[in-house]
Structure 1
Amino acid sequence: MKPFLATAALLASATALAAQTPSTSPDGASWMRYPALSPDGRTLVFTYKGDLYTVPSSGGAAVPLTSHAANDVMPVWSRDGKRIAFASDRHGNYDVYVVGVGGGEPTRLTFHSAPEYPYSFTADGARILFGAARQDAAANRLYPTAAQPELYAVSATGGRPTQVLTTPAENARPSADGRFLIYEDRKGGENAWRKHHTSAVARDVWILDTRSGEHRQVTTFAGEDRDPVFTKDGRAFHYLSEASGTLNVHRMSVDGGASQQLTQFTGVPVRFLSMADDGTLAFGWDGQIYTMAAGGKAQRVPITVTADDKSNRQRILAVTQGAQGLVVSPNGKEVAFLYRGDVFVNAAEGGGTKRITATPEAETGLEFSPDGKALVYASERGGKWAIYEARRARDAEPYFYVSTVVRETPLISNEKQNTHPSFSPDGKTLAYLENRNTLRVIDLATRQARTLLTEKELFGNDHWFQWSPDGKWIAFDLDVPGIAPSEVGLVRADGTGQVVNLTQSGFNDARPRWILGGKAMMWFSNRDGMKSVAQSGSTQQDAYAMFFDREAWERFRLSKDEFTLVKDAEERLAKARGDSAKGKDSAAARTPAKPLTLDLADLDARRARLTVASASLGDALVSRDGETLYYLARFERGLNLWSTNLRSRETKMVLQLNANGGNMAWDREQKFLYLLADSTISRIDPSAATPKRDVVSLAGENSLDVDAERAAMFDHVWRRTRDTFYTGGFHGADWTTLRAVYAKYLPHVGTNAAFTELLAELLGELNVSHSGASYAFTTPTDDATASLGLFYDQAYVGPGVKVAEVIRGGPLDRSDVRLRPGAIIRAVDGVDIEPSRDIAELLNRKAGKNVLLTITDGGATSEVVVKPVPPAEEGRLLYARWVRRNAEEVDRESGGQLGYVHIPGMNDGAYRTTFEEIMGKYATRQGIVVDTRNNGGGDLVADLAMFLSGQRFFDYTTDTRSAGYEPNFRWTRPTVAIANEANYSDGHCFAYAYKQQKLGPLVGMPVPGTCTFAGWESLPDGIRWGVPGLGVKDATTGQYLENLQTEPDVKVRNEQRAAAAGKDQQLEAAVAALKKLTQQRTAVVP
């Protein structure tokens, strides 16, 4: 995995940055990042276009230090100024490398697949301090998470890393004498590029006395304090602080006190602080690099860079897979689809592919006109979404896929955002969405438009609607204000009458389709499906039909035998009339449908469940005669194609697909199903004796202009944020001005990683949770360090590695091995583990494979074959171990009277575990410690609040024995909850609700206000970004919970030294508080 996680830590994001401004530009290069000043103050090193460059600190032409296709970032100088350590993702993840100041081939120093980032050289220059979430020490009591790295040191010439601290210490830098380390803490996983937030998760500066082991907090500003560096005499330090409103350079005594602001920059933040021995500072601001002599003013360093691109800016991409948005032409001869935001048309049977649009902006919402002569779609051009029509220019070319010329004209282009075009069946009018939440219909001849639906009926960004066959009605997904479940609505296409709620179920009803020529409607609902224990969890769905015609309903209800008799009679009548009826079916398909008369009375009595078993549904279609349902359903693994005879109820699998997702469409004659599943288009004859899946071959080309596409994506992100951000004030950010501020960097961005970081910096201005951007890709040769399920003795320095603990459930926790602490693993697959070698190097890409270990235990040597596990499985084992230790402590300290559960996320699985533990193992306990620390969110707050707030109102009993009570599905005894700075999203919602509802004491640290809904989207190049489109308010106060921090009733910090020694101070405080509660209450044992 090559992660570019702009929502992770500033250091952990460590993306390669680039600039494209030529050396002849009057302003020189821009978007230069991660500058570091040499100890003698003469030379700067920085990242540009994914490589490291050096330049005199007075300015001039930069010289490349590295030249590699990988991303080289975060350079740090050796104490003597002769070497530079940096992070590079040359093996799929960031490792620490070192290179001489004159360049040459770098030396790789670390080999673990966890991202490893250098912070500084040690005072003696012999080792390099770096951060990585490899594995906490066995004694550590902090939550095991990749969001909080440990601190390590590795020899500057290579060797086995050693753990310096098991607690987070980012940007750690030593004092000149090496006694002290100054660092910034890391308390959670909030977007590292977020600005202006004042909360408990913001970074603070600490100093570690390496002799005593004491950690001392030296900054207490509620916002960001980061990038600390000692002065030469060690009496003070410089750092970056947002105390002035944006990150600026500050100075403070190591003894604390008032800080002195040294720079007065406004707008974008100062980044990447470093210092020379003479006190000269270097940092980045506004894409440039600055230096500031001690007591002086900041000076911009004029830099020019001459660099070639590492890949073509103009590229040709083969379009053979990756299709999205399938539609089939009315004549069944063509299929249209999207690829990387452009429109393509292909022969329905494969063999010819025509690119219709060639824009850097994205197109979406494809549809053929009813006569098949035009394609309509929405495109985001010129700062707005507009609807366009493409037509074949030459009559001699009957299909799009063989057309040499296709002409495009705008259909609807104004100051609004117009999307989701859909032709009426006669092609005379077009329905579309305006500004996301308004459904309009326009007469294409008169250009007169009318509004059918507004935000009273539509909410969100994407809406499903479909014309009736006669063009008089539109069925749609109805969003009732204040009601979470969706319904199915009906509205007249002429704008008259009232909106009709067809389903009114309180369940989720969605995706209506007209069937039987408009006499009925099919839709999906979860009303009969199995559901998660958690109300917000996944549920199974069924396909249903609602009949608007009584005769059609009565015909549908006929038994198989009754229907056979009716069909026989109809066939005899048709035969008596002669053969004049032949061909009428196909002719009818090409003539306008007769106006429908919809009987909307007593619809509940004309409703039927079509599927025989509930499942996770992807899509569904009904045959023209209404006798067969074809649907994509997931019962076990992926989606498969199923059919149900709606008369006999016979159900069978048509094709096994095991697809992750898919949608279907009929051809004109409804003989073939066209399926888009996992980006592959297929044609299927579902009625064949042995149906098969014929893949529709694609053979197109996409000419990609990388820079133009990036500019379009930037505009899209800015515009969508403007239109969808949950509150109009943008948290005080001037969103219009910020577009220009960050858009000016675009010509200087040369990699996806740099662009991701640019988006994250822009979105970080909003000071909101659930925002940022991320980019990741993998290759088969990436390092992936497998785990043996062991803790290693960090103090051991001999050959091999010494076992400190065998993790329960791990690969070596076996009855036939009996590995004990103190045993030495001497070799892996016959390769000796030298004292200078990291075992991680020998375990890369070994997960699930047989590995031979040579083990020495008490003088005896043995060989063991084991299958190491992937890093994710090790994480699961470490989490289980952490929970087990906490539960054992609560049990021990309470004498078996209290129980303990941890809730890692707000989902059905976590709720099931919580319910099982509390109502099973701990059913007779007097109280429960509900630990939510590091809860990453989801949607479970209502379930938990209800579950933990039970009040007993019945006892089922005799005179001598209780048999139960009501409510027997809710906990009715005391609880104490624990939360910390790393609680996020619904993890914060729970902490807030727990305290607001007075369910019990809240223990731990303040929880930042992140109770907001996420809104993530993927861009054409794979970047994932988002901002919240929906906030959460306290129903009693009307106040948004975003940025509203929740303070605990009992504030307790887990101090670094105590946690590293195995002490959980927050858990101890929670047990004490719960003991007090239970002592005040007379327990009623059921």
Structure 2
Amino acid sequence: MTSRFLVHEPALSPDGKTVAFGWQGDIWTAPTSGGRATRLTTHAALDSGAAFSSDGKQIAFNSEREGFKMLYTMPAGGGEPKQLTFHTDGCIADADGKNAKRVLESWNPVSVTFSPDGTWIAYSQADEWFNDDIWLMPLDGSKPPYNLSRHPDNDSRPVWSPDGKMIAWTGQREIREVDVFYVNLRAEDDEKTKRERTLVKAREKIAKSAKPAAAPKKEEPPKAEPKKDDKPADTVAKAEEKKPEEPKKEAPKPKPLQIDLEGIHERVHRLKIADSTEHSLVWSPDSKRLAFQSQSVEKKLTRTVEFPDELTPKQLGTVALTNAAWLKADDQIVGLLDGKPASINVKTGAPKTMSFRAQQAYSRAEKLRAVFDQCWQVMRDRFYDDKLGNRDWSAVRAKYRDMAAESPDMKGAVECVWLILGELNGSHLGFTMGASNTMSGWREETAHLGLRFDATFAGPGWKVRDVIPKSPASRKESRVEAGEVVLKVDGKDVTSAMDASSVLNGPMERDVVLIVQNGDKTREIILRPINYTMARRLLYDAWIENNRTEVEKASGGTLGYLHISAMDDASFQKFQEELYHAGAGKDGLIIDVRENGGGSTTDHLLTALTQPRHAIAIPRGSQTSGYPQDRIIYATWQKPIVVLCNQNSYSNAEVFSHAIKTLKRGQLVGVQTAGGAISTGATSIMDVDTLRLPFRGWYVLSNGQDRELMGAKPDHIVWPQPGDKIDRQLDKAVEMLKQDVTSWKKRPQPKLIRATERQP
């Protein structure tokens, strides 16, 4: 069979001639020169993470065929896999699987690199604050793990130089900046200056160029003629062969790895490249160069630096490879380019993709069962609550497993996965399957005229209930008024009973001709329609403007209103602007998170709303207290607030609503939020697609209650009623905020006393 999915985790043989990789749940190999791929494993369960042995004769890989991730080996040319370990992540063992022991305990996967001599590991691991640092640890347990990076931002994916003298990794700094960091493990390497290194090189060059004086030639005595009784040459040779052999010289033992931990944190250096994210670090075989991938908004490319003195990054190629390795043979970097095996010639920077062909036969039932099993196992091992919704998880598997295997296709198995996710009764769950067909070119779409019609109007035609502001129907040249009647669309009569799509469907890039009636007069209107996404956006803007007007009217201009549509960066930036727009000259502010689907910006919002205040700053000529805005992180709001939430406030919008109550920053008005407050990630399931994976719970600080299935309960519960023409929740928010502002204005204020007015 063929597949649209790309290969995973490529690994190169020591001679660079073969690449092993994961594809469609199996381990494959293919020549790096291209050609036909060979399938090495045929089990329905997921096999992954292939790696060659140092002599290239064996391949080790992970397999979930026993229900847990275990380590197996098999001949590089194919053969029966042999299970080596019965342990999960964080363990090491001898090459034959014996003497296995756990060396790492972690709640999440770690990224590990071994020292060249195999005696130490460097790894990145998250702590209880979800911050990744780089750690060093000897495998014999002689020293405790040592935090190498020690930074509040994430540091990850360390790589050890082949000579064992350096470690490099990537670290996040300044919110969005990700750069390369490195450390000299030996203090002496960090202390040497460029001048000292230059002098050493110069001396070595001089020593090599100085040739020793040629020794005088010795005159050889004339060869004697062989005598009759001399032994033949072959007899002499045989006699020489009988001489005892000299003992073989033992190869020099490698020097033990030297790591000077004292002061090592001060030896961490940064290679800063502005406005670019670095990743996929790889050392050259001689440890002199480090290559990495740089990604900016405009482009991706490969860069290199040369240690220790040429540390200004140089561009190597115009493509970026992931899962990269630097081969000594042909001096090339190999890895994945957009999911396909590829290489970069280090001398020229030219990229080259590796093409191969593969055919795979499998049992459909076993494949569907394996996909189902992997989803079940991931939830068993990694769902944020190990009680798994108080379900018997093995019984849940038995209930749906055969159903998944007997499904007619993958879509049916995916539905069975949804069923076990439903058993968890949790939020942020889901399993998506990539579309097998993609649509291209023009497709039919229902046009929106910017009009909303009266559903009770019997006809003839469609009576306009209202016109969406800033829509095509609101413009001067194509304006339609509320109360008017649309009689025809593109020459076709319209009725209240008809399906509107029958006259509105078609390409968006077209003009629509309307016949509109006003009293006993009709006229022709030509307008360019919009799609429903744009219509919803315009309706949202109109809703915001109406709410702002209502708050202004109800408060006599003393209160402001703003809505946060999502907990994302764009919405937060807009929030900061709104603090000075909607809040200008106001005594209080209504912050609305109704219909907010979540994100991750709660703590940024709280920083703006709960900024500690320690002083009053007043310049000459002013009587109003303030504080210099350039001294604080965000635009801030110190005055009273009320927060609006409802049943469609979800995820991080709920975290925000809970926080407002916990911190007593303001009153909460509306209805209880959805009750879906857990952090979710995602993981790939074979080559099917993505399983959402909730991994972190959020708990109320005051009572320790899990916020999952327990939405934020407002201080004032107000449900809207069917047919309401007013916003009851907004009215209640205005009422409560007025009271809070009255109390806030009565708070005691210090009398300001200048130094010149201070009494002795």
TM-score category, normalised to shorter length: 0.7 to 0.9
**Equivalent residue number for residue 452 of structure 2:** 792
In structure 2, distance between residues paired with 1:510 and 1:628? 20
**Residue 599, structure 1, aligned to residue 260, structure 2:** yes
| 1:542 and 2:179 correspond | yes
Question: Which residue is 2:366 aligned to?
Answer: 708
2:400 to 737, 742, 746: 742
Counterpart in the other structure of 1:1030: 696
Q: Is the 8 A contact 1:386 1:410 kept in 2?
A: no
In structure 1, the residue matched to 2:35 is 351
* Among candidates 639, 644, 664, match of residue 973 of structure 1: 639
1:1078 pairs, out of 732, 741, 758, with: 741
Query: What's 2:229 paired with?
Result: none
| 1:261 corresponding residue in structure 2 | none
Q: Give the aligned partner of residue 115 of structure 2.
A: 468
- Find the residue that maps to 1:332 and give its secondary structure: coil
> 1:572–1:342: structure 2 CA closer, same or farther, 3 Å change rule?
farther
Matching residue of 1:506:
152
Q: 1:834 to 1:779 in 2, by over 3 A?
A: farther
1:459 to 103, 107, 110: 107
CA 1:846–1:513: 2 relative to 1, 3 Å: farther
- Residues 271-290 of structure 1 correspond to what in structure 2 (within 5 A)? none
**Does the CA contact (< 8 Å) of 2:595 and 2:646 recur in 1?**
yes
**Correspondence 1:107-146 to 2 at 5 A:** none
Find the partner of 1:733 among 388, 391, 399: 391
Secondary structure of 2:396's aligned partner: helix
Task: Measure how far apart 1:337 and its partner are.
Answer: 1.8
935-944 or 1044-1053, larger mean C-alpha shift:
935-944
Output one character per residue of 1:886-920: Cα deviation in whole Å (capped at 9) or x when no partner. 22322232232222222232222222221221145
Aligned letter for 1:510? Answer: S
Aligned 1:427-576 pairs, distance under 5 A: 433=89, 439-445=90-96, 447-454=98-105, 458-460=106-108, 462-480=109-127, 482-515=128-161, 517-527=163-173, 529=174, 531=175, 539-554=176-191, 558=194, 567=201, 569-575=203-209
Rounded Cα–Cα distance in structure 2 between residues aligned with 1:675 and 1:1005: 52
Q: Which amino acid aligns with 1:733?
A: R
What stretches of structure 2 of length at least 5 have no aligned partner?
213-250, 753-760
What does 1:638-657 align with in structure 2 at a 5 Å threshold? 639-644=300-305, 647-648=309-310, 650-651=312-313, 653-657=315-319
Measured after TM superposition, the shift of residue 1031 of structure 1 is 1.5
The answer on whether the counterparts of 1:800 and 1:827 sit within 8 Å (CA) in structure 2 is no
Higher relative contact order (CA 8 A, sep 6+): 1
Partner of residue 412, structure 2: 754
SS at 1:1006 equivalent? coil
Q: Give how far 1:615 is off.
A: 2.3
* Correspondences of 1:761-840 after superposition (within 5 Å): 761-775=419-433, 777=435, 779-780=438-439, 785=445, 787-788=447-448, 790-795=450-455, 807-808=468-469, 822=484, 824=486, 827=489, 832=492, 835=495, 838=499, 840=501
Shift in CA distance, 800/518, structure 1 to aligned 2, threshold 3 Å: farther
Asked whether the 8 Å contact 1:981–1:1008 carries over to 2, the reply is yes
Cα 1:1008/1:622, change in 2 over 3 Å: same
Partner of 1:996: 662
Counterpart in the other structure of 2:63:
379
Alpha-carbon distance, 1:707 to partner = 1.8
**Which segments of 5 or more consecutive residues in structure 1 lack a partner in the other structure?**
1-316, 393-399, 401-405, 419-432, 434-438, 532-538, 579-589
- How far apart, in 2, do the equivalents of 1:330 and 1:466 lie? 17
- Counterpart position of 2:241: none
Provide the C-alpha distance between the structure 2 equivalents of 1:757 and 1:493, rounded to a whole number of angstroms: 45
Cα offset, 1:737, TM superposition: 2.0
**How big is the shift at 1:1002?**
0.7
Structure 1 residues 147-296: aligned runs within 5 Å: none
Q: Distance in 2 between matches of 1:960 and 1:694?
A: 70
Whole-Å separation in 1 of the counterparts to 2:390 and 2:345? 57
**Aligned to 1:478, what secondary structure does the other structure show?**
strand
User: Which amino acid in structure 2 is aligned with residue 699 of structure 1?
Assistant: R
- Cα pair distance change 1:924/1:371, threshold 3 Å: farther
Q: Considering only CA atoms, is the larger Rg found in Structure 1 or Structure 2? A: 2
TM-score by structure 2 length?
0.83
Indicate conservation of the 8 Å contact 1:1009/1:1041, yes or no: yes
Specify whether residues 1016 and 927 from structure 1 end up closer, same or farther in structure 2 by C-alpha distance, changes over 3 A only.
Answer: same
RMSD over aligned Cα atoms? 3.4
Name the amino acid aligned to 2:36: G
Change in 2 beyond 3 A, CA 1:728/1:604: closer
Deviations 1:734-753 (A, max 9, x none): 22222222224335422433
Distance in 1 (alpha carbons) for counterparts of 2:477 and 2:318? 41
Q: What is the alpha-carbon distance in structure 2 between the residues aligned to residue 812 and residue 894 of structure 1?
A: 33
Separation (CA, whole Å) in 2 of partners of 1:629 and 1:594: 24
1:854 to 502, 513, 517: 513
**CA shift at 1:445, angstroms?**
4.5
CA 1:916–1:452 in structure 2 vs 1: closer, same or farther (change >3 Å)? same
1:397-427 residue CA offsets vs partner (Å, 9 max, x unmatched): xxx5xxxxx113223243x4x3xxxxxxxxx
Find the partner of 1:368 among 52, 58, 66: 52
Aligned residue type for 2:340: T
What are the residue-to-residue correspondences of 1:46-85 with 2, within 5 Å? none
Secondary structure in structure 2 of the residue aligned to 1:888:
helix
Whole-Å separation in 1 of the counterparts to 2:19 and 2:472:
50
Q: Structure 2 CA distance, aligned partners of 1:1000 and 1:703?
A: 62
1:307 aligns with none
SS in 2 for 1:595: coil
Q: Which residue of 2 aligns with 1:888?
A: 549
Q: Is the 2:478–2:526 contact (alpha carbons within 8 Å) kept by the matching residues of 1?
A: no
Q: Output the TM-score relative to the length of structure 1.
A: 0.59
Instruction: After TM superposition, list the pairs within 5 Å mapping 1:1004-1023 onto structure 2.
Output: 1004-1023=670-689
Letter in 1 for 2:736: A
Gap change, CA 1:891 and 1:564, over 3 Å in 2? farther
Q: Distance in 1 between matches of 2:326 and 2:318?
A: 19
Counterpart for residue 336 of structure 2: 676
Q: Is the 8 A contact 1:374 1:390 kept in 2?
A: yes
Is this contact kept in 2: 1:470–1:592, CA < 8 A?
no
Deviations 1:687-738 (A, max 9, x none): 31xx332111121112243321111122222222222232333332222222
Q: Residues 668, 624 of structure 1: CA spacing in aligned structure 2 closer, same or farther, 3 A cutoff?
A: closer
| Separation in 1, partners of 2:4, 2:715 | 59
Does structure 1 retain, via aligned residues, the 8 Å contact 2:372–2:416? no
Q: Hey, what's the Cα distance between the residues in 1 that align with 2:281 and 2:478?
A: 53
The alpha carbon displacement at 1:929 in A equals 0.8
- Residue 1075 of structure 1 aligns to which amino acid in structure 2? K
How far the C-alpha of 1:772 sits from its partner, in A, is 3.7
Shift of 1:504: 1.1
Deviation of residue 390 (structure 1)?
2.3
The separation in 2 between residues aligned to 1:666 and 1:905, in whole angstroms, is 43
Question: Which residue in the other structure is 1:720 paired with?
Answer: 378
Contact 2:284 2:290 in 1 (8 A): yes
Counterpart CA distance in 1 for 2:31 and 2:53 is: 17
Equivalent residue, structure 2, for 1:24: none
